[in-house]
Amino acid sequence: MVISQSWSLWRQSNTERATNVKHMILDDTWWDRVEYLLSFTEPIMSMIRYTDTDHPCLGEVYDGIDSMIEEMKIIINAKEQDPEETFFKEVQSICVEWWNKMSTPLHLLAFALTPKFYSDEMLAKPSRVPPYRDSEVSEGCRTTLTKLFPDSEMEDLMSSEFADFVASNGQSVATLRDKYKKDAHAWWYLNGHTSPNLQTLAIKLLSQVARSSSSERNWSTYSFIHSVKRNRLAASKVEELVYVHSKLRFLTHKQKEYKDGSTKFWV
């Protein structure tokens, strides 16, 4: 653009701002910085894209954030060559602050209930340990179970079933093999019968999507039905219409066009 004849003929091409833009675009050092910026922010975008779907992935968010920060650390340290890791620590503090604002103990419990993180394939990776050996995860699980089950007897029962799940008690060879291959909620449907109470909780939790778009979409549907020009509907009638509209939209998710083709995930 800046080396074309049209740029030279543009009446503002000789202004200080236009000159600075031209010098910046033609500067290889500037493009190197752009490439560097894209390289260490790519893990963030990948994480956002992974969670911003209708696929249940609540149990993988906590691990995904840790993996994202670790990947950014490798890219930044390879470029900066700084033993103090000054720039990485600054970026890390921003990511951690963002994560602390949006995370809840439910993320930790969902992570701890995801079977694949106990599989041999996952634990064979370097520096990988099962969730129950992480103090933050263990404390988050205890906090969540205490809040969900104020009755001490029920809490003890859930803790006992959770211990059996972690220790793989009563799990067959096929069940252990499926930990890495199957989706978390599908695994609990098929193999959680030995811990029925924990199975119910795990299915509810691991069937949830990680994004808030579903609830935001519900408000959009509400505003579509109950607007400034159409506001004489009774509250009960509006709720019924929103319910019907939402269920019809969910039914479209079972159609082939929702998963394949040019309109994938559009509805």
For the full predicted model, state whether its pTM sits above 0.85: no
Q: How confident is the model at residue 258 (pLDDT cuts 50, 70, 90)?
A: confident
Domain ranges of the chain: 28-103, 107-206, 213-259
Q: How confident is the model at residue 14 (pLDDT cuts 50, 70, 90)?
A: confident
Q: How confident is the model at residue 265 (pLDDT cuts 50, 70, 90)?
A: low
pLDDT tens track for 23-77? 989 999 999 999 999 999 999 999 988 888 778 888 999 999 999 999 999 999 9
What is residue 70's predicted lDDT score, i.e. its pLDDT?
A: 94
The C-alpha angle 49, 52, 55, rounded to 5 degrees, equals: 110
The DSSP output letter for 170 is T
Q: How confident is the model at residue 266 (pLDDT cuts 50, 70, 90)?
A: low
Q: What is the mean pLDDT of residues 72-96?
A: 93
121-to-110, 115, 131, 194, 253 alpha-carbon distances in Å: 20, 11, 14, 23, 32
Two structure tokens written together for 37: 């910026």
In whole angstroms, give the CA distance from residue 70 to residue 91.
12
Q: What is the mean pLDDT of residues 131-160?
A: 92
What is residue 262's predicted lDDT score, i.e. its pLDDT?
A: 67
In whole angstroms, give the CA distance from residue 160 to residue 195.
9
Two structure tokens written together for 79: 């470029």
Two structure tokens written together for 223: 């505003």
Contact predicate 45/95, CB 8 Å: no
What is residue 211's predicted lDDT score, i.e. its pLDDT?
A: 74
In whole angstroms, give the CA distance from residue 135 to residue 220.
40
Residue whose pair of structure tokens reads 């602390």 in the numeric block? 100
Contact predicate 137/131, CB 8 Å: yes
User: Where are the alpha helices (H) located in 81-195, listed in sequence order?
Assistant: 86-102, 105-112, 120-123, 135-148, 152-166, 173-181, 184-191
Q: What is the mean pLDDT of residues 136-159?
A: 92
Q: What is the mean pLDDT of residues 194-214?
A: 86
Q: What is the mean pLDDT of residues 9-13?
A: 81
Contact predicate 209/53, CB 8 Å: yes
What is residue 111's predicted lDDT score, i.e. its pLDDT?
A: 94
What is residue 214's predicted lDDT score, i.e. its pLDDT?
A: 64
In whole angstroms, give the CA distance from residue 56 to residue 222.
24
The DSSP output letter for 259 is H
Two structure tokens written together for 181: 């291959």
Contact predicate 109/168, CB 8 Å: no
